[in-house]
Amino acid sequence: MVKQPTIVVTGAAGFIGSVFVQYLNEQGFHQLLLVDDFGVEEKRKNWEQKQFIKVIERQSFIAQLENDEFEVDAIVHLGARTDTTEFNYAIHEELNLNYSKSLWNYTTQKKIPFIYASSAATYGAGEHGYDDNHDIVNQLTPLNPYGVSKNEFDKWALTQSNQPLSWTGLKFFNVYGPNESHKARMASVIFHSFNQIKQTGLVKLFKSHKEGFKHGEQLRDFVYVKDLVKVIGWMLHQMMSNSWDANKNGLYNLGTGKARSFYDLAANTFKAQGLAPNVEFIDMPLDIRDKYQYFTEANMAKLRAAGYTAPFYTLEEGVADYVANYLVPAKSY
């Protein structure tokens, strides 16, 4: 019997990490080391039913790795401090930059695949566009400390002469889907819309505070988490089967390539429940008003050129699946 590879998934109790663990389970992978802060009670339902070898606390994991306590075949690093309203850069620097460097150095030394989560927050206001082109990384000016920390790691990674044999940094755009309920304010607009509809029968969206954008017409590239983990799984398979050329290493956008409005998002949340849209516009909080992205849209040509051919959920398809199969029955993935 062929021995299964041992795969580390960081952020495994969180939103994207826990969905990726379930995806791996469904593909037949159970030799998984789950890394996160497992003391957060509301995350428990995200991971405790999954199949894995063991859970490891984030704070002790690096030391255990460096002591060769595990034989690891790949690391998928999805753990991060993702709160864009946390303005203490030291927190982001420690968790998003320094921690990532430690994992990079380990995977380089062991010659194993490394896939990590970057972010579309690195693009700032989009003044340089949304191309996953390495030439613009040094020019990017993210709008918050979270985006800065992600971009600093991207910049660092691209300058390293010592690299993992196979690696990618994935710039996630606006991800939505099951297992995000613990994210509170940072959960997707669909999650908040669904709960507002349940409680009040209407959805509140931010007014526009920028010329050229009507209320609710702020545009984002919304990507369903099931598509996201499928791409990560495809990359991991390519790398572990030695089908990934080193010239494909680098940064990749991960969105749909199609920007949609927040109003579309809310309207489809109503539609998925057989309801007519009922939207009210409210002022955007002052603490995020001058750091708010009004438009994001991933250029997806690079991922397609690398060989990924599967279609992505449309916004209508993704919202319908999320609402009907997870939000209404209050189920995790």
Instruction: Give the model's confidence band at 144: pLDDT under 50 very low, under 70 low, under 90 confident, else very high.
Output: confident
Instruction: Report whether pLDDT(278) > 80.
Output: yes
Kindly state the average pLDDT of the residues 94-120. 93
What are the φ and ψ backbone dihedral angles of 268, each rounded to 5 degrees? -70, -25
Rounded distance between C-alpha atoms, residue 257 and residue 66, angstroms: 39
Provide the CATH number for the domain formed by 7-175+223-257+298-313 in this structure: 3.40.50.720
pLDDT for the residue numbered 27: 96
Whether 7-175+223-257+298-313 shares its CATH topology with 181-219+258-296+319-327 is answered: no
- Find, among 149, 152, 147, 169, the residue nearest to 231 by Cα: 169
Closest Cα partner for 231 from 302, 319, 128? 302
Per-residue model confidence (pLDDT) at position 290: 80
DSSP 231-299: HHHHHHHHHHTT---GGG-EEEEES-S--EEHHHHHHHHHHTTT----EEEEPPPHHHHTT--SB----
Question: Would you state the pLDDT for residue 108?
Answer: 97
Residues in the chain: 333
CB contact at 8 A, 168 and 249: yes
pLDDT band at 85 (very low <50, low <70, confident <90, very high): low
CA atoms 222, 227, 233, 236: torsion sign: negative
**What does 23-52 look like in DSSP terms, one character per residue?**
HHHHTT---EEEEE-TT-GGGHHHHTTS--
Q: Which pLDDT does position 96 carry in this prediction?
A: 79
Residues identified as active-site: 146, 183
pLDDT in tens, 29-84: 999 999 999 988 889 999 999 999 999 999 999 999 988 888 999 999 998 776 66
- The pLDDT of 97-116, averaged and rounded, is 95
Q: Which two tokens stand for residue 277?
A: 């849209």
Q: Is 305 exposed, middle or buried (0-12, 13-18, 19+ CB in 10 A)?
A: exposed
3-state secondary structure of 183: helix
94 pLDDT above the threshold of 90? no
User: Has residue 232 got a pLDDT over 90?
Assistant: yes
Q: What is the pLDDT of residue 63?
A: 93
Q: What is the pLDDT of residue 9?
A: 98
Q: For domain 181-219+258-296+319-327, is the CATH number 3.90.25.10? A: yes
Give residue 68's pLDDT. 86
Q: How many CA atoms lie within 13 A of 9 on its CB side?
A: 32
> Taking the mean position of all CA atoms in its chain, how far away is CA 83?
12
User: What percent of the chain clears pLDDT 90, i.e. is strictly above it?
Assistant: 80
Q: Where are the domains of the chain?
A: 7-175+223-257+298-313, 181-219+258-296+319-327
Between 118 and 84, whose confidence is greater? 118
What mean pLDDT, rounded, does the chain reach?
A: 93
Average pLDDT estimate for 221-236? 98
- pLDDT, tens digit, for every residue of 188-213? 999 999 999 999 999 999 999 988 89
